[in-house]
Amino acid sequence: MQLNSRHLLGLEGVTCEEITLFLDTAASFKKVLERPIPKVPTLRGKTVVNLFFEPSTRTRISFELAEKRLSADSVNFTSAGSSVKKGETFKDTARNIEAMKIDTVVVRHGSAGAPHYLSRCVDASIINAGDGAHEHPTQALLDMMTIRERLKSLEGLKVVIVGDIEHSRVARSNIHGLKTMGAAVGVCGPSTLLPREIEKMGVTVYPHIEDAMAEADVLNVLRIQLERQERGLFPSAREYRMLFGITRARVEAAGRPVTILHPGPINRGVEIDSDVADSEASVILEQVTNGVAVRMAVLYLLAGGRTIAEGEDHA
Ligand code: CP
């Protein structure tokens, strides 16, 4: 099977079969990463540009590592120190980079829709590495891979996303992906941080974290963007923790096993306490490990790769 698009702009509209292909291919690449020499020649001769207009630690490093593990040539662009500072437009930057014969552009941008715009301006494959508050598809794929590894299947699970849903591209991509894969999705957070009419996305709204935790198999805990506090969207970090923080007491009171994800970076002691983030229930570091495998799968499949058979060495 092959993908319906040569871009990955979001998970909205991506089919169950395509998501399964991404996850199965990532599982195969994860085995490559466990070898003594974790590198294959699969994308030798291909060139990838990582175009980051916003800060990133996990996504940028794991795309760079994924490209190196696949033997692609990769170039990194950050807007600081580039001609963007001299007034060059986004489109001109992209077209100039493409003129250097690029196969794939990985783009993170503060504006929702920037990767979609780019896909209409250049011939290269575009991968969305996070656009404003819109989507972050590779994050949701690595979240789904991590849940699937721990709980075997996504179908029938209840996954509750906790925190600032309104400003979260991670939440949107997870909602699209998880629902497509047959999971039930809930959201929980202060009403000022929930999008209006979020129920129309087919999710359950939990005003109280205790009610969410009484039903959830998985909690995906989002970073509280502390800068929102200045705009009065929640009263204080202390009050947020009191009402929505994932504490050991709340995990124990839920009385059921729960798997805990966090896309990072974590505000310890705000949205999640350290003893929960570092507990057996947490898969936060597995998410980071799986991020490299997922990004290898996305780069490989968008470059025209097909399903990888179990044990195949890509050589
Ligand atoms: N999860 C995530 O997108 O992290 P970064 O902003 O560090 O890439």
Q: What is the pLDDT of residues 125-164, one digit of tens each?
A: 999 999 999 999 999 999 999 999 999 999 999 999 999 9
Sheet with 73-78, strands from edge to edge, namely 73-78, 47-52, 104-109, 125-131
Work out the pLDDT band at 312, boundaries 50, 70, 90. Answer: low
- Residue 56 pLDDT more than 50? yes
Sheet with 259-261, strands from edge to edge, namely 204-206, 184-188, 158-162, 218-221, 259-261
Rounded to a whole number of angstroms, the CA Rg of the chain reads: 19
Query: Which ligand 1 atom is the nearest neighbour of the CA of 61?
Result: 8
Return the best residue to mutate from 50, 54, 59, 65 for the ligand 1 pocket (most ligand atoms within 8 A of CB).
59
Report the distance separating Cα 291 and Cα 60, nearest Å: 10
Mean pLDDT of 192-220: 97
Q: Please name the residue whose Cα sits nearest to atom 7 of ligand 1.
A: 57
Of 56-60, 195-199, 311-315, which gets the smallest average pLDDT? 311-315
- Residue 226 pLDDT more than 80? no
- For residue 197, the one-letter residue type is E
110 Cβ below 6 A of ligand 1: no
Contact between residue 176 and residue 235 where contact means Cβ atoms under 8 Å apart: no
Contact between residue 178 and residue 217 where contact means Cβ atoms under 8 Å apart: no
56 Cβ below 6 A of ligand 1: yes
Q: What is the pLDDT of residues 244-274, one digit of tens each?
A: 999 999 999 999 999 999 999 999 999 999 9
Higher pLDDT, 152 or 234: 152
- Residue 54 pLDDT more than 50? yes
- Residue 195 pLDDT more than 80? yes
177 Cβ below 6 A of ligand 1: no
For the chain, give the mean pLDDT.
Answer: 93
Contact between residue 280 and residue 233 where contact means Cβ atoms under 8 Å apart: no
Q: Please name the residue whose Cα sits nearest to atom 5 of ligand 1.
A: 56
